Structure 1
Amino acid sequence: MSYFDNKVPPKREDRLQAVIAHKDSICGIANRGGGKSCLIQDGERAFTQGTICLLLPALAMLNSLPDNVVLLHSALGCGSCTHSQNANVRTGSNARWGKPKDGIWLSTALDETDVINGGEGKLEQAIIEADRRYRPASITIVAGCVPGIIGDDIDGVAQKVQPQVNARLLPVHCEGFKTKIWATAYDAVYHTIGRNLLVERGEKQITPQDELEVFKEQQRLARTVNLMNVSSMGRIDELELERLLNSLGLEANVFPVFAHPDSFVKATRAALSISTCPTHDDYFLGYLEERFGVPSLIQHMPIGIENTSLWLRDVAAKFGLEEQAELLIASEEAELRQALEEFRPLFEGKTVFISAGEFRALATARLLQEIGLEVVGIRSFHHDEFAEVEYEKLAREAKSDYVVDIANVQPFEEANLLKRLKPDLFLGHANGNMTAAKLGVATHVIYNTGLAYIGYRGVYEVARRLYRQLSNPSYNKRLAENVRLPYAESWYQAEPFTYLNSRGRSVNE
């Protein structure tokens, strides 16, 4: 039975045996491959600091959909992250359609009375009001923790109310307490897309006059590929990948971020689906292949020289375009390597620590190796089987073994590691660089939707920005002289993984 036959997608702990608590080294974790299972036992922390909820990545995707209203069925505060996300929605809309557009989100604002009596009636009224007020193509009904605890059936409510509204109702299960792997949020979003948006609304009658157009469309679709994008990928990165695919004579159907709900059915007709991030894409691409016979490529993230070239070769092989791809790769790599030469003298001997989601961290680490920096540590937010080949690439090129911390943020471990390793540079999320900055480490955001990171252009742009950052790191050094982190000096002297083991107790107990 397909996962999509169920109302709720499985959590990644069960589906992929993903883990969030593990300490290792790059060589140690890479050596788990080579015929052996790369799966590792999940640990626990006796002390843990906050992480993010499933709602944050799910809402980042859903708020980007044009002609869509996000209806959050939970406590009012659960939607607070959408305020900061709206800047990305506006700039993303402007980059794609020439005008900024706000994301629209509403909340049923469940309170104590609703917890006791149930909130389904309130949800019904909110759906009808959202449809009347905004007339959207779709309404995504996003369940937070509260309805999951009290047992509200958002799927049942959607089914009951659907005949009364014009918008498609899309139930999304994001009850944060059900999983520790927040990347499950991607599965939750794709689950409702697969169940609700991949079927045409009504059959189109084809007349004899349409047959030529149908033939032309079939020819076009034979060269069309589904290019999966993620909420951390700006339009500038999409254009880079489209440029490379167009150079091979292929056309890209880019989705789901900023794709109109009515356009999702196009994904079922493409000749191939291409992942840009296996962490993000594997659940949905598996369903497209299983249900609609659309084959997929889900291995490399096109960040860095090697990974971009491998990504292109895989795509070209599916269409018999290997020779054309090799000419393109040779030309792009030669031009890029020459352009990077001006940065290498400064990068020589500089060390870097990276913190991000699994594939973004590992692929970016490989890019940094390629431009001449030495990676001395990686913190990956989770680990699953798809990362095996990436660890092997990094271990192959590592100057020496270094730490890998599988952690769903945990800044106290990060502070300890940074104090010991003293890297010259730290790459992390936009809101996750404070620890390193306050320790005097030069920082750079690991993604920003207005900047280039992906493809060959991304390599150069990242190198150029890091060159500027490392040329003048005085801000962070002065910051460290005037502020301090809230950790006692004794913590910096302790082993950084003191609170991590498989039993959830301190190793000193």
Structure 2
Amino acid sequence: MSYFKLKEPPRREDRLQACIAHGAALGDLATRRLQCCLPNSERRFTQNSICLLLPALGTMNSIPNSVVLMHGGLGCGSSCHGGNAGVRSGNNHRWGVVKDGTWLSTGLTEADVISGGEPKLAEAIIAADRRYRPSVIFVVASCVPGIIGDDVDGVVEQVQPAVEAKLLPVHCEGFKTKIWATAYDAVYHAIGRTLLPEAGFIADKKSGKTVNLMNMSSMGRVDEVELERLLRELELAVNIFPVFSDPGAMQRMAAADLSISTCPTHDDYMLNHLQEKYQVPFIIRHMPIGIENTGKWLQDVAEFFGLGAKATAIIKQEEAELAAALAPLKPMFKGKKAFVSAGEFRALSTAILLAELGFEVVGVRAFHHDEFADIEYEKLLRITGTDYPLNIANCQPFEEANLLRKIQPDVFLGHMNGNSTAAKMGIATHVIYNTGLHYVGYRGAYELARRLYRQLKNPRFNGNISKYVKLPYQESWYRQDPFKYIETAGGDLE
């Protein structure tokens, strides 16, 4: 049975056997292939985590002419204030219009927890429809309705005839899963069940040269432009879904000739659905970050359309131009040590790019692990060696601080809200994802190198911070094994 026949997607712990707890040398993968990283592995001590509501909101708030209605406590929407900057810039980059996302909350109180919040949700849906006249309303279930048993899908089914907007229930009850990437499945689940056509509806509309370029918050507009440029060199028409995509246009996903993932962590759930229901094949092997990965990504697409020779010529020319542009920058990187922390595929593909630029990769932390990254670990082993630590962790800055003290990298690449530990230790930091900066394709490789060159040329800022800020860990912790609190599913320590 298709997962899309269910009211909500399964947990990634169940669907992909994903895990969040592992610590060992990268070389252990050659024989163990993360077998000790089991779905129920955990830590005896955990410092923090990531709620799946956060990445889900980043996508939903980007959809034009939509309202995001969160059913839960008022605080569950607080991240929308910071995330709105990405919505405004994304709209501006695409259409020259600075427009905010629209999000509301049912603001459940203690009384609602006792008596139930379904009536309040029904009223909020009707009010949002009448006030904003959106095309779609994402009705988001957070932790509270999941705990008290509110039937969000039932309310949506009951209220739908009374409103003009299409209602998309999205299940983001954070307590149900520790794998934050389940958020992408939740959003795709809602889109696939509500905004796509019936099977066979547009099977005769395929053009023979149209691709779905999937962007579930994998990149900003500048990176979309880079990949569009490369695909159009192959004379392919490009549809980009789902961020900043008009709800009415999402039906075009079902009419494409091929779907292309830009991040396997994000896309497999929807791509399998498009293939099963609409016979749209897909490619989900590489993330186009880095020189080798970009070439492999483009070559795979070209081979599907019988354009392999043309892609080979494009890749040869692009790599030659990039090599010339990187030549003045690469001497700065020789001997410099780099540590990378991000979502699994982004961390691994960026680590490979850093090695291509001449850095010595000395540590990688991925927020979770599942089967799609096996091929990336094999590339990383081949390119960088085996004797540095790999940490699978949903944040856990205490492990990060311990590793950084032991490794002493020259530069740390992490997310915007994940660079503070390294910065306070005096390590130069660079953001690994920002919607306004280039990271993807050949242009992304050059622009990242250019920014790192400037960062390493003058790293004093974080050095000065470290003189006046002290992390809250005792010296005894830095002398211990950073992975001492990780347990396997059987309860034994790693």
Matches within 5 A, 1:487-502: 487-502=473-488
1:41 aligns with 2:38: yes
Deviations, residues 282-304 of structure 1 (Å, cap 9, x unaligned):
00000000011000001100000
Matches within 5 A, 1:319-330: 319-330=305-316
Report the alpha carbon displacement of residue 119 of structure 1 after superposing the two structures with TM: 0.6
8 Å contact kept, 1:69–1:140 = yes
8 Å contact kept, 1:46–1:505 = no
- Looking at structure 2, the residues matched to 38 and 317 of structure 1 have their Cα atoms a distance apart, in angstroms, of 33
Matches within 5 A, 1:248-397: 248-397=234-383
Residue type of the partner of 1:311?
W
8 Å contact kept, 1:499–1:505 = no
Residue type of the partner of 1:112?
E
Matched residue, 1:19 = 19
Matched residue of 2:239: which SS? strand
Report the alpha carbon displacement of residue 503 of structure 1 after superposing the two structures with TM: 5.9
Deviations, residues 103-143 of structure 1 (Å, cap 9, x unaligned):
00000001111111111100000000000000000000000
- Judging changes above 3 Å, is the alpha-carbon distance between structure 1 residues 278 and 60 closer, same or farther for their aligned structure 2 residues? same
User: 158, 161, 165: which one pairs with 1:160?
Assistant: 158
Report the alpha carbon displacement of residue 31 of structure 1 after superposing the two structures with TM: 3.8
8 Å contact kept, 1:65–1:257 = yes
Report the alpha carbon displacement of residue 40 of structure 1 after superposing the two structures with TM: 3.6
- Judging changes above 3 Å, is the alpha-carbon distance between structure 1 residues 456 and 30 closer, same or farther for their aligned structure 2 residues? farther
- Looking at structure 2, the residues matched to 190 and 39 of structure 1 have their Cα atoms a distance apart, in angstroms, of 30
- Looking at structure 1, the residues matched to 320 and 109 of structure 2 have their Cα atoms a distance apart, in angstroms, of 61
What 5-or-longer segments of structure 2 have no aligned partner?
none
Residue type of the partner of 1:382?
H
Matched residue, 1:414 = 400
Query: What is the TM-score of this pair, normalised by structure 1?
Result: 0.94
Matched residue, 1:134 = 132
Residue type of the partner of 2:323?
R
8 Å contact kept, 1:137–1:166 = yes
- Looking at structure 1, the residues matched to 242 and 31 of structure 2 have their Cα atoms a distance apart, in angstroms, of 35
- Judging changes above 3 Å, is the alpha-carbon distance between structure 1 residues 269 and 485 closer, same or farther for their aligned structure 2 residues? same
- Judging changes above 3 Å, is the alpha-carbon distance between structure 1 residues 40 and 46 closer, same or farther for their aligned structure 2 residues? closer
Matched residue, 1:100 = 98
1:5 aligns with 2:2: no
8 Å contact kept, 2:36–2:488 = no
8 Å contact kept, 2:348–2:376 = yes
Deviations, residues 159-211 of structure 1 (Å, cap 9, x unaligned):
111110000000000000000001000000000111000027xx89xxxxxxx
Matched residue, 1:76 = 74
User: 404, 422, 432: which one pairs with 1:436?
Assistant: 422
Matched residue, 1:28 = 28
Report the alpha carbon displacement of residue 232 of structure 1 after superposing the two structures with TM: 4.3
Residue type of the partner of 2:295?
S
1:169 aligns with 2:155: no
RMSD of aligned residue pairs (Cα, Å): 1.8
Matched residue, 2:216 = 230
1:114 aligns with 2:112: yes
8 Å contact kept, 2:26–2:386 = no
- Looking at structure 1, the residues matched to 312 and 102 of structure 2 have their Cα atoms a distance apart, in angstroms, of 45
Residue type of the partner of 1:439?
M
- Judging changes above 3 Å, is the alpha-carbon distance between structure 1 residues 225 and 69 closer, same or farther for their aligned structure 2 residues? same
| Worse-superposed segment, 338-347 or 134-143 | 338-347
Report the alpha carbon displacement of residue 506 of structure 1 after superposing the two structures with TM: 8.9
Report the alpha carbon displacement of residue 230 of structure 1 after superposing the two structures with TM: 2.6
Residue type of the partner of 2:38?
Q
Residue type of the partner of 1:165?
V
Residue type of the partner of 2:346?
R
8 Å contact kept, 1:415–1:435 = yes
- Looking at structure 2, the residues matched to 276 and 231 of structure 1 have their Cα atoms a distance apart, in angstroms, of 10
8 Å contact kept, 1:303–1:455 = yes
- Looking at structure 2, the residues matched to 102 and 403 of structure 1 have their Cα atoms a distance apart, in angstroms, of 41
Q: Give me the identity figure in percent.
A: 63
- Looking at structure 1, the residues matched to 4 and 87 of structure 2 have their Cα atoms a distance apart, in angstroms, of 28
Matched residue, 2:468 = 482
Report the alpha carbon displacement of residue 38 of structure 1 after superposing the two structures with TM: 6.3
| Worse-superposed segment, 228-237 or 495-504 | 495-504
Matched residue of 2:320: which SS? helix
- Looking at structure 2, the residues matched to 351 and 423 of structure 1 have their Cα atoms a distance apart, in angstroms, of 5
Residue type of the partner of 1:334?
A
- Looking at structure 2, the residues matched to 235 and 376 of structure 1 have their Cα atoms a distance apart, in angstroms, of 31
Report the alpha carbon displacement of residue 50 of structure 1 after superposing the two structures with TM: 1.1
1:242 aligns with 2:228: yes
8 Å contact kept, 2:218–2:262 = no
8 Å contact kept, 1:30–1:391 = no
Report the alpha carbon displacement of residue 24 of structure 1 after superposing the two structures with TM: 2.2
What 5-or-longer segments of structure 1 have no aligned partner?
205-213
- Looking at structure 2, the residues matched to 161 and 311 of structure 1 have their Cα atoms a distance apart, in angstroms, of 44
Deviations, residues 303-342 of structure 1 (Å, cap 9, x unaligned):
0000000000100011000011000000000110111111
Deviations, residues 232-252 of structure 1 (Å, cap 9, x unaligned):
411000000000000000011
8 Å contact kept, 1:38–1:388 = no
How many residue pairs are counted as aligned between the two chains?
492
Matched residue, 1:194 = 192
Matched residue, 1:180 = 178
- Looking at structure 2, the residues matched to 446 and 135 of structure 1 have their Cα atoms a distance apart, in angstroms, of 37
8 Å contact kept, 1:354–1:361 = yes
8 Å contact kept, 1:39–1:385 = no
Matched residue, 1:211 = none
- Looking at structure 2, the residues matched to 199 and 400 of structure 1 have their Cα atoms a distance apart, in angstroms, of 48
- Looking at structure 2, the residues matched to 60 and 69 of structure 1 have their Cα atoms a distance apart, in angstroms, of 13
